[in-house]
Amino acid sequence: MRVLRFSIGVGAVLFFALACGGGGAATNAPATGSTATQLVDGELPVTCGASVAAAQTEVAIANNAFDPSSVTVAVGAIVSWTNNDSTDHTVTFDASPDCDRVLGGESIASTFNAAGSDAYHCRIHPSMTGTVVVQ
Ligand SMILES: [Cu+2]
């Protein structure tokens, strides 16, 4: 604490800030076993490029439509999209990111990092829309 005592006023403010910071960190510590729902700094609510095999929820793409058009998943869940059409489609989130093309006959998957409602569409066929509700 000697370093902080260059001025009584500044020292008191620093001491107050340190005391508050320590108390806040302790109170805000997540309960044991709970799932973290806060995004890491700079992390998007959706991350593209997850393992299709690891997906817990599957959305089919057929006849220029997402089926089902709305799914509800838990925070941290992986959702896959399988394109059963012969034409390409995209899974593009309205807010971001754009998870790019799903070639005909292929699959992609994304991870949902935060609670909320993530609307998406196909960039090539704007009438194709869907929503992932994350709880
Ligand atoms: Cu499309």
Q: How far is Cα 37 from Cα 57, in angstroms, rounded to an integer? A: 19
For β-strands 116-121 and 57-61, DSSP reports them as unpaired
Q: How far is Cα 29 from Cα 77, in angstroms, rounded to an integer? A: 23
What's the gap in Å between 22 CA and the centre of ligand 1? 51
The CATH architecture of the domain made up of 44-134 is Sandwich (2.60)
What's the gap in Å between 41 CA and the centre of ligand 1? 32
The answer, yes or no, to whether residue 10 has pLDDT greater than 50, is no
pTM of the model as a whole:
0.71
pLDDT tens figures, 20-39: 433 333 333 333 433 455 67
What's the gap in Å between 114 CA and the centre of ligand 1? 26
What's the gap in Å between 14 CA and the centre of ligand 1? 56
pLDDT tens figures, 85-97: 999 999 999 998 9
